[in-house]
Every structure is written in structure tokens, then in C-alpha cells.
């Protein structure tokens, strides 16, 4: 059995909470579609954590964080769809943007995330409403939502990578210093 890495578990929990909270508190409700829709900024931390931490954490923090928002905010019917759709967005973003973090790879990841969101929620609305035309009214909001998050992510990911790499380097130096100190004591 594989050991659970407490560091990754902590990062995943923080990322999930941030996605849920930012989705909840930075939201604009839209008067479109069956029950309306919303534009939120929860996709920004989802995309950034997928780039920084990889596909697994991206999938979990996105899917669980936004599904948790759905459950807590009265949109519970959407939670299973959100878990799968947004989880897939985080996974794909992590696949493209984590290992080789170039502007091109991140852009491709964002484009696939947009496609997953639009197509995924089209089918979710088709299942919920039973009408193949109703979901079309949500497409502009989904495009604006993930498009804006994508632009912010493209602007922010390099400075965030530089800052986190500096933090990781300092953390590694501290661990090495602590190990050397422990070796000297014995």
C-alpha cells in the first residue's frame, strides 16, 4: 500500500477549500437558462493548483471544491455533474501544465478545460432539463467564466511558479540543514 504524503494531502485540502470559497464568494448570478446560471472565479485556483501540483490534486480540488459549493449553495442537483466535469478540467490542466510548464502547454490545457466545461455542462443540462435547446443559453456564461480564468491563469502562473520554486528550494535547504544538525548531535 502506498503511503499518504501529508504535505500533498494538506495542499490538496487547502486547494479544495480555496476553490470552494472563491467559487462561493466571488460570484455573479446570471438571469439565463432554466434556473439561471453563474459566473465565478473558482476556476482560477483550480487551474493554478493543477499547474503547480499536478493532475491528481487538480482533479480533486476542482471536482470536490466546486461540488461542495454546489451542495452548500442550493445547487445540489449539479454536484455530481460538477464533480466529474470540473474534476476532468483539473486533471487535463494538470496533464498539460504541470510537468512542462510552458505558455504553450498551459494554453492548450486551458483550451481543453474550456471544451470540457462547455460540453460537460451542455450534457448535464440536457439530462437535468430534458431539452436539447435549453443548454445553449449557458454556453456564453461558461465561455466567459473559464475564458476569464484562463487569461488570469496565463498572466499569473509564471510569477507564482517562480515564488513557489523559491519556497521549495528554501524548504529543501532547511531540511538538509536540519539533517546535518541532527547528524552532528549524535
Domain ranges across the chain: 6-181
CA 97 to each of CA 93, 149, 167, 174: distance values in angstroms, whole numbers, following the listed order: 6, 15, 20, 28
**DSSP letter string, 155-172:** HHHHHHHHHHHHHHHHHH
CATH topology of domain 6-181: Arp2/3 complex 21 kDa subunit ARPC3 (1.10.1760)
Contact 27, 38 (CB under 8 A): yes
**pLDDT, the chain, mean:** 87
Please name which of 41, 136, 46, 132 lies closest in space to residue 87, comparing C-alpha atoms. Answer: 46
Q: What is the pLDDT of residues 130-142, one digit of tens each?
A: 999 989 988 888 8
Reduced to 3 states (helix: H, G, I; strand: E, B; else coil), residue 52 is: helix
Q: Would you place residue 164 in the very low, low, confident or very high pLDDT band (cuts 50, 70, 90)?
A: confident
- pTM given for the model: 0.84
Cα 177 vs. chain centroid, distance in angstroms?
Answer: 34
Radius of gyration for the alpha carbons in the chain, expressed in angstroms and rounded: 19
Amino acid at each position: 500500500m502506498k503511503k499518504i504524503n501529508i504535505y500533498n494531502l494538506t495542499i490538496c485540502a487547502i486547494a479544495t477549500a480555496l476553490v470552494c470559497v472563491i467559487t462561493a464568494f466571488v460570484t455573479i448570478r446570471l438571469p439565463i437558462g432554466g434556473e439561471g446560471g453563474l459566473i465565478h472565479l473558482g476556476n482560477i485556483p483550480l487551474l493554478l493548483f493543477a499547474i503547480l501540483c499536478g493532475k491528481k490534486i487538480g482533479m480533486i480540488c476542482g471536482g470536490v471544491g466546486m461540488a461542495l459549493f454546489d451542495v452548500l449553495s442550493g445547487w445540489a442537483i449539479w454536484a455530481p455533474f460538477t464533480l466529474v466535469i470540473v474534476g476532468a478540467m483539473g486533471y487535463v490542466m494538470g496533464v498539460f501544465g504541470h510537468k512542462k510548464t510552458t505558455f504553450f502547454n498551459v494554453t492548450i490545457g486551458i483550451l481543453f478545460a474550456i471544451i470540457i466545461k462547455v460540453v460537460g455542462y451542455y450534457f448535464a443540462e440536457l439530462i437535468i432539463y430534458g431539452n436539447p435547446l435549453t443548454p445553449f443559453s449557458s454556453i456564453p456564461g461558461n465561455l466567459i467564466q473559464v475564458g476569464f480564468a484562463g487569461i488570469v491563469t496565463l498572466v499569473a502562473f509564471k510569477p507564482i511558479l517562480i515564488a513557489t520554486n523559491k519556497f521549495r528550494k528554501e524548504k529543501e535547504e532547511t531540511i538538509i540543514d536540519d539533517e546535518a544538525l541532527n547528524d552532528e548531535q549524535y
